[in-house]
Amino acid sequence: MSNEEKSGLKQWIPAFVLMICVVLAFFDKISIAVLFADPGFQDAMGIAEDKAKLGWLMTSFLLAYGFSSVFLSFLGDIFNPMKMLLWSVFSWGVLMVFMGFTDHYGTMLFFRVLLGIAEGPLFALAYSIVKQTYTEKQQARASTMFLLGTPLGAFLGFPITAYVLDHFNWHATFLVMAFLTMFVLMAVIFGLSNLSLKRTIDLEHGTKRTNFIGHVQNSRKLLTNVPFWLVCIFNIALMTYLWGLNSWVPSYLIQDKGFNLKEFGTYSSFPFIAMLAGEIVGAFLSDKLGRRSIQVFLGLLFAGIFMYAMVVLTEPHMIIAAMSLSAMSWGFGVAAVFALLAKVTTADVGATAGGIFNGLANFASAIAPVLIGYIVMQTHSFNLGITFLAVVAVLGSFFLVPLLKRY
């Protein structure tokens, strides 16, 4: 399948497979947040209710994830991205099994770091596959299909983990994820088998093979690309919002807002359904209008505004409504962010640009779970931690202001 011959639903199979990979990866990332409120898990790890140590289980993953995304995503430029994707997904399943049998905090922390390293290149690999497989007019929709894995992973991950935890124990939550990995591996093998993917260093000049040194020279162009770095800084705020929300939503609703585990399993899905809707609408609007920067800017701005509205509300249903509007706005904006990245970069450094973009944001935003945990411990108020996220979102959106007219 080349990016000139697209027709019918079959053309979207690769994007759908990438979405499934992101669903699993996001499931792996955030489901541990449900365990933050589980006394059995806290006792097994020997950390009681130390929210800073709980936060480190997410932050350690994000630091490793960011490092891997920045420094290992170039492998998607110099090796076949499908093979890289297969090895990556396989390693997630192995690590889930190991974590399922871990009863030591330090060991769990170590496996979380390894998981971050294994998952780091995923978005860059997906971005590279999309850029090779779809035309420019289809890229926002194709990118959004795999980005839909983010809200879908949370939509499925939180309630499924809560259900397994409620009926079995915390060990079983990891083993269920390991089991699901087998199905995702099959989807990658059969869903991407008809693609003729190339190393992206070979894309721009088909008769000229670029070696590693040549790729490094091409990558230097990114250092002076001001729009690229503005988008990268903006993405730090974008991901700070996401990781802060996903790390502490279970504890926030259960411990601060009085939800029980069953209620949490129901209501926790609402914001991510809204996020999914925002991404779908945003994708079609982005491809139709082509004004990527304005859409992304407004999305994060209103995500921050609605998040602060959630802080000042006290009625449970209104809190969920505000959280849902905030998540919908975030999804509306993020639908166009990879298409915006494609407009400010060139194809010969596609995976590297995607890796820096994704990795830097995750690396810089990794402090959010620990920082929020520290704020909650010191002030005994989750509202201040959520306010922090709202402020970061609003301020971060303004880094795109210089790009609004051009892109």
User: pLDDT tens digits for 370-380?
Assistant: 888 888 888 87
**Residue 2 in domain:** no
Q: Of the spans 153-157, 159-163, 304-308, which averages the highest pLDDT?
A: 304-308
pTM for the structure as a whole: 0.71
Q: Give me the percent of the chain exceeding a pLDDT of 90.
A: 18
CB under 8 Å to 226, separation ≥6 — which residues? Answer: none
Please report which confidence band the pLDDT of residue 90 belongs to, taking 50, 70 and 90 as the band edges. very high
Long-range contacts of 132-137 (CB under 8 A, 24+ apart): 132/3, 132/81, 132/195, 132/197, 132/198, 132/200, 132/203, 133/1, 133/3, 133/14, 133/15, 133/195, 133/197, 134/3, 134/6, 134/11, 134/15, 135/3, 135/4, 135/6, 136/342, 137/287
Residue 308, domain extent: 10-403
Q: Is the pLDDT of residue 4 over 60?
A: no
**Residue 22 in domain:** yes
Q: Is the pLDDT of residue 202 over 70?
A: no
**Residue 23 in domain:** yes
Summarize the confidence of residues 393-399 as an average pLDDT: 92
Number of domains in the chain: 1
- Neighbouring C-beta atoms of residue 365, cutoff 10 Å: 24
The residue ranking higher by pLDDT, 147 or 1, is 147
Which residue matches tokens 């008769």?
A: 207
**Residue 378 in domain:** yes
Instruction: Return the structure tokens found at 157.
Output: 């991950």
CA 250 to chain centre: 18
**Residue 312 in domain:** yes
Kindly report the CATH number assigned to the domain that includes residue 141.
Answer: 1.20.1250.20
**Residue 5 in domain:** no
User: pLDDT tens digits for 341-352?
Assistant: 877 776 666 666
Instruction: Return the structure tokens found at 339.
Output: 């298409």
Cα angle value 67/126/212 (rounded, 5°):
60
**Residue 1 in domain:** no
| Alpha-helical runs (H) found in 366-404 | 367-379, 382-397
Q: Is the pLDDT of residue 197 over 70?
A: no
**Residue 298 in domain:** yes
Give the chain's mean pLDDT: 81
